[in-house]
Chains A and B, each alone.
Chain A
Amino acid sequence: MLEIDGLYKAYGDNQVLEGVSFTVAPGQMFGFCGSNGAGKTTTMRIAMGLARADAGEVRWLGRSVDEAVRRRIGYMPEERGLYPKMKVGEQLTYFARLHGLDAAPAARAAETWAERLGLGGRRGDRVEKLSLGNQQRVQLAAALVSEPDVLILDEPFSGLDPVGVDSLAEALLEQCRRGVPVVFSSHQLDLVERLCDAVGILARGKIVASGTVEELRSGAAGRQLRVVAPDAPPGWAAAVPGVRVVSEQRADVVLELGPGTDDQQVLAAALATGRVTHFAWREPTLVELFRGAVTDTRAVAA
């Protein structure tokens, strides 16, 4: 279990983190979302020992994360960092060795990962000669080359083409299957929704929502019901008790049900008007959940 527990961090007067907490289970893929400047990078840097929390702790398997543990974490910083003049293969070997591998296994691992991420032919090239996309792959390989126990990746998908996104996603899913907890931050919420078992939404230095996407949906206020009844007279829905009409366009209405209101009552009322061609809960997308979560706190904070 990777536990981020109550992190606080201020840079001068700027309180960046105000009690960030979440946990990631082994084999779980955790999507870390939040608007720009919400504190995602700061949280990850604290986990990697690159910034010191004013309060709070990061634990892995119940043990506070120290240097020995950190060497078992694969990390991809937001600002990509590689030696520009070093060859791809040598660079990967070097990082593998820094993470504790012996020379021969490190060289083997470097070869394997370069091959798997489609860099086999570029092992002898200097990093600066590679395209940005390929540099990104090297960066990922540097995080994976030591077969880490935990992966923390800051915006790993940014700047990748769709094929690159797919191969990276596949690589991460494979790590999850190996039992590695994976935390990654991203603004591509559709991707997070597709890949992640769990999501945390960070806003104003706090986790405002976390859990599986399903949990977020059920917890979200204002689940909406869409009903299409072509023969119904305008205003039929407003007459049903406990129902608020969100929008009404001819026969197509979107409703919010008050607590305790039975959706079957609504269906009955609709059927009473004639045909019903559509009756379904509308699942909010992660984008909507994100917007809702982020704007809520803004309102509170304001």
Chain B
Amino acid sequence: MTSTEIRPHTPAQLVRLVAGREISTRIRDKGFLIGSGVLIVLILGMLVFQVAVNSGGNATELGVVGGSAAVTDALQAQGKALDTDVSVVDYDDEAAARRAVEDGDVDAALLSPSAAQPELLVEKSGGTAETVVQGAVQGMAVTQQLADAGVQLQSPPQVDLVALDPDADADTEAAIVALVGVVVLYSLLILFGQFVAQGVVEEKSSRVVELLLATMRPWQLLAGKVLGLGLLGLAQMLVIAVIGVAGALAFDVVELPGRLIGTVVTVIAWFVLGYAFYASVFAAAASLVSRQEDLASVITPASLLLVVGFVISIQAAQDPTGTLSTVTSFIPGLSPLVMPVRQAAGAAAWWEVVVAVVLMLVTIAVIVRVGGRIYSGALLRTGGKVKLRDAMRAER
């Protein structure tokens, strides 16, 4: 009676079928689409913010009336000392300079810089331009007075630079990139952990699990669900990474694109490990209850761990070598959030990363085993909350 169209499934095929259903239903789900959209907008917002901060902080435009090459040089030298790019615009008379300041074309305008009483026009006092001009005018005056007194200035000796930590800036930058990455990683872990948990309870509360388990084993159902949602999470992570990296490069926010990409890859790798951990924990916890209303009570402990990891990772970005961040970067469950920040900041040796990854992998293996057992034991018990112990020793 068995027709040729019907062939027995291998476990892998069943897992793929389950995963396919998870992806195709979730990808059309409003909650998922809105969540993804919000995350992407958030990333773009951060980029725009960075661009705005950068463009505001590092350039000063000065208008000069009656300037000279010496004046321009002095202003730019002073600007360099104050870590700002000074560009000088010459104006013919005070009226033109005044208009330019009022219109915001320049930050300030300097009138008759070589005179005894130079004047600086600003919209309001207290900007970088003021300090630059003050320093430059003083310097020129001192040089002039010395020259008048017949002192011949010899060029001062050049200081040799010995950089003890040439990457310090890059480290900070990478740590910030890693922190942004961890924000995304944290949001996606919470989001997809919730999806896994809700999916498990949905199947239990609607009793469809009985029909499913008549055709497959609990581990196949669990694996399909976790893998399907995991692939979707990874895809979303990649989309965000590509948008983030492309945006950062396009707007020239970062100085070392190579390190940026390295950090992003690290974060993605830790996302995979973190997802395997949290998805298994959330699924096992969710299998204990039969109603969506009871879900919060069982997944709160795991969610709290995730929040703790996130808080520590923010702290780690400021102090990547501190004891707290060092210790927690090895603790399975916390390591996916803390270690990428330490790695990016250059504070973790390669063997430390290896140890953290191995610890995480071992823990995942244990959790998949124990969690799978809880899941199989609790899946067919409906009504009320199943006790953890009962689920563990449950025979069907």
The interface of chain A, by Cβ under 8 A from chain B, is: 45, 48-52, 67-68, 70-73, 75, 77, 79-86, 94-95, 97-102, 105, 142, 146-147, 149, 178-180
Chain B residues near A101: list those with CB within 8 A.
5-6
A52 CA / B396 CA spacing, docked (Å): 5
A75 CA / B3 CA spacing, docked (Å): 19
A52 CA / B208 CA spacing, docked (Å): 19
Is there a chain A Cβ closer than 8 Å to B207's Cβ?
yes
CB of B3, distance to nearest CB on chain A (Å): 7
CB of B258, distance to nearest CB on chain A (Å): 44
A95 CA / B216 CA spacing, docked (Å): 12
A-B contact pairs, 15 of them (CB 8 A): A48-B214, A50-B214, A51-B380, A52-B395, A67-B217, A80-B207, A83-B203, A84-B202, A86-B25, A98-B216, A99-B6, A99-B215, A100-B6, A142-B211, A147-B3
Chain B residues near A68: list those with CB within 8 A.
8
CB of B84, distance to nearest CB on chain A (Å): 57
Return the contact of A81 from the options B209, B215, B216, B217 (Cβ within 8 A). Answer: B209
Contact B211 A81 (CB under 8 A): yes
Contact A98 B396 (CB under 8 A): no
Contact A94 B396 (CB under 8 A): no
Chain B residues near A100: list those with CB within 8 A.
6-9
A185 CA / B378 CA spacing, docked (Å): 26
Chain A residues near B380: list those with CB within 8 A.
50-51
A241 CA / B203 CA spacing, docked (Å): 67
Return the contact of B211 from the options A95, A105, A178 (Cβ within 8 A). Answer: A95
Return the contact of A70 from the options B2, B6, B207, B215 (Cβ within 8 A). Answer: B215
Bits for B207-247, please: 1 = Cβ < 8 Å to A, else 0: 11111111111000000000000000000000000000000
CB of A86, distance to nearest CB on chain B (Å): 6
Is there a chain A Cβ closer than 8 Å to B206's Cβ?
yes
Closest residue on chain B to residue A70 by CB atoms: B214
Supposing A50-B396, A75-B214, A149-B2 touch, asked if A82 and B8 sit within 8 A by C-beta, the answer is no
Q: Which of B17, B21, B214, B380 has the most CB of A within 10 A?
A: B214
Contact A50 B210 (CB under 8 A): yes
Closest residue on chain B to residue A86 by CB atoms: B25
Closest residue on chain A to residue B209 by CB atoms: A81
Contact B212 A49 (CB under 8 A): no
Supposing A68-B8, A142-B211, A149-B2 touch, asked if A98 and B206 sit within 8 A by C-beta, the answer is no
Is there a chain A Cβ closer than 8 Å to B14's Cβ?
yes
Is there a chain A Cβ closer than 8 Å to B1's Cβ?
yes
Contact B210 A81 (CB under 8 A): yes
Return the contact of B206 from the options A67, A75, A83 (Cβ within 8 A). Answer: A83
Chain B residues near A49: list those with CB within 8 A.
213-214
Supposing A49-B213, A50-B396, A105-B5 touch, asked if A79 and B17 sit within 8 A by C-beta, the answer is no
Closest residue on chain B to residue A152 by CB atoms: B214
Contacts A77-B210, A101-B5 given; 8 further ones with Cβ under 8 A?
Answer: A49-B214, A51-B396, A81-B208, A82-B211, A83-B208, A84-B206, A146-B6, A149-B1
Contact A71 B215 (CB under 8 A): yes
Contact B1 A179 (CB under 8 A): yes
CB of B195, distance to nearest CB on chain A (Å): 13
Chain A residues near B214: list those with CB within 8 A.
48-50, 70, 73, 75
Chain A residues near B8: list those with CB within 8 A.
68, 71, 100
Supposing A50-B380, A75-B211, A99-B215 touch, asked if A81 and B6 sit within 8 A by C-beta, the answer is no
Contact B202 A71 (CB under 8 A): no
Chain B residues near A97: list those with CB within 8 A.
17
Closest residue on chain B to residue A54 by CB atoms: B395
Contact B2 A77 (CB under 8 A): no
Q: Top 5 nearest A-B pairs by Cβ distance?
A: A81-B207, A81-B208, A77-B210, A79-B207, A105-B5
A72 CA / B202 CA spacing, docked (Å): 26
Bits for B9-21, please: 1 = Cβ < 8 Å to A, else 0: 1000010010001
Chain B residues near A105: list those with CB within 8 A.
5
A68 CA / B214 CA spacing, docked (Å): 10
CB of A42, distance to nearest CB on chain B (Å): 11
CB of A151, distance to nearest CB on chain B (Å): 12
CB of B131, distance to nearest CB on chain A (Å): 63
A103 CA / B207 CA spacing, docked (Å): 25
Contact A77 B1 (CB under 8 A): no
A99 CA / B396 CA spacing, docked (Å): 22
A70 CA / B382 CA spacing, docked (Å): 23
Chain A residues near B25: list those with CB within 8 A.
83, 85-86
Closest residue on chain A to residue B211 by CB atoms: A81
Closest residue on chain A to residue B215 by CB atoms: A98
Bits for B373-385, please: 1 = Cβ < 8 Å to A, else 0: 0000000101000
Contact A98 B14 (CB under 8 A): yes
CB of B205, distance to nearest CB on chain A (Å): 9
Contact A83 B207 (CB under 8 A): no
CB of B73, distance to nearest CB on chain A (Å): 71
Chain A residues near B217: list those with CB within 8 A.
67
A178 CA / B3 CA spacing, docked (Å): 13
Contact B21 A94 (CB under 8 A): yes
Chain A residues near B212: list those with CB within 8 A.
98
Chain B residues near A95: list those with CB within 8 A.
211
Chain A residues near B382: list those with CB within 8 A.
79
Supposing A95-B211, A100-B7, A100-B8 touch, asked if A83 and B17 sit within 8 A by C-beta, the answer is no
| Complex interface residues of chain B between 1 and 48 (CB less than 8 A to chain A) | 1-3, 5-9, 14, 17, 21, 25
A49 CA / B210 CA spacing, docked (Å): 10
Bits for B357-396, please: 1 = Cβ < 8 Å to A, else 0: 0000000000000000000000010100000000000011
A71 CA / B6 CA spacing, docked (Å): 10
Q: Which of A97, A98, A146 has the most CB of B within 10 A?
A: A98
CB of B204, distance to nearest CB on chain A (Å): 10
Chain B residues near A179: list those with CB within 8 A.
1
